[in-house]
Amino acid sequence: MNIRELIELTGARNMVPEASLETEVTCGYTCDLLSWVMAHGRAGMAWITVQTHMNVIAVASLMEMAAVIVPEGIEMEGPTLEKAREEGICVLQSDKTAFELCALMAQSGLPGTPREG
Amino acid sequence: MAVLMEKKFPVEAGAYESAGEASTTIKRTLKQLGVSADVLRHVSVACYEVELNLVIHSDGGVLTLQVEPDKVTLISKDVGPGIPDIDKAMTEGYSTANEEARTLGFGAGMGLPNMKRNATEFDIQSEVGVGTTITMSFALKG
């Protein structure tokens, strides 16, 4: 699945049109504890979080994630979107809940992350 | 072995807005040097964790990147306040992060264990009232 297909699947709005729609999405995840995400994030991940501050983009960029999805119509802060543009990280905004987004992604065959030890 | 490159990045206490900038620059630098994706990921995670620790817990410090032919080393040296009980600080789930850090989604008590997990070699020295020095090295394969 790529970003274009993820957008079609979820009906989410693309807040960073500059980011490539061809980027491959490898897995899905949801968590709002950034420390936790740093330990469990993966390259190509589509990460659902209600956090909207700058550090979200730093985490997504360092982990080479494919996209950040903000659920429940939450607006991401302007400077955070600006940072996302600079780093080429796709930010999607959805009216659906994190639960609904996970269900859609899982039904379409997108895997979660493999469990470690 | 000879140090091919050394760069220093000052990190300000409480500067949440710019947290991650040093890590992003370090990642870019190493990528340009041709460091493999696998090593790059381990360095990035550990580097961001240690940079955040400087922002959240320290009175300010300096992050140093050293590149040698066979390894990358990150040294985080702060000017205080120091860690009273390192064993406790190394325990997963234990955190002394303040409310501001927790609101942003930090302070899960994953930082130090996550650094140790990602580094090939990990060393922490701390003295209350003096400061903390964390040294992490990452082996470069092939």
In a domain, A115, yes or no: no
For B97, the closest chain A residue by CA position comes to A35
Structure tokens that stand for B55 in this block: 């922002």
Looking at CA atoms only, how far is residue A5 from chain B in angstroms? 26
Q: How confident is the model at residue A113 (pLDDT cuts 50, 70, 90)?
A: confident
pLDDT at res. A114: 75
Quote the mean pLDDT of chain A: 95
In a domain, A113, yes or no: no
With a threshold of 0.85, tell me whether the complex ipTM lies above it. yes
A30/B contact by beta carbon, under 8 A:
no
pLDDT at res. A107: 97
- With beta carbons less than 8 A apart as the criterion, state whether B57 and B80 touch: no
Which domains does chain B carry? 5-139 (3.30.565.10)
Q: How many domains does chain A have?
A: 1
pLDDT at res. A117: 42
Express each pLDDT in A18-75 by its tens digit: 999 999 999 999 999 998 899 889 999 999 999 999 999 999 999 999 999 999 999 9
CATH number at residue A92: 3.40.1390.20
8 Å CB contact of B106 and A34? yes
In a domain, A117, yes or no: no
| pLDDT tens over chain B, length 142 residues | 689 999 999 999 999 989 999 999 999 999 999 999 999 999 999 999 999 999 999 999 999 999 999 999 999 999 999 999 999 999 999 999 999 999 999 998 999 999 999 999 999 999 999 999 999 999 997 5
B111/A contact by beta carbon, under 8 A:
yes
From the list B104, B107, B114, the residue facing A38 with the nearest CB is B114
8 Å CB contact of A36 and B16? no
Residue that is written with structure tokens 């995670």 in the block:
B45
Q: What is the rounded distance in angstroms from the CA atom of residue B119 to the CA atom of residue B47?
A: 10
**CA-based torsion, B45, B50, B56, B62: positive or negative:** negative
B71-78/B131-139 β-pairing: antiparallel
In a domain, A15, yes or no: yes
From the list B48, B105, B111, the residue facing A51 with the nearest CB is B105
8 Å CB contact of A39 and B117? yes
In a domain, A84, yes or no: yes
In a domain, A112, yes or no: no
Q: What is the rounded distance in angstroms from the CA atom of residue A62 to the CA atom of residue A87?
A: 10
Average pLDDT over residues A10-22: 96
From the list B44, B107, B110, the residue facing A62 with the nearest CB is B44
Domain that holds residue A39: 3-107
In a domain, A38, yes or no: yes
pLDDT at res. A39: 87
In a domain, A116, yes or no: no
CA-to-CA dists, residue B111 to A56, B58, B64, angstroms: 16, 14, 18
8 Å CB contact of B27 and A62? yes
Q: How confident is the model at residue A92 (pLDDT cuts 50, 70, 90)?
A: very high
A34/B contact by beta carbon, under 8 A:
yes
What global pTM score does this model have? 0.91
Sequence-distant (6+) residues with CB within 8 A of B71 are: B1, B120, B137, B138, B139, B140
8 Å CB contact of B110 and A62? no
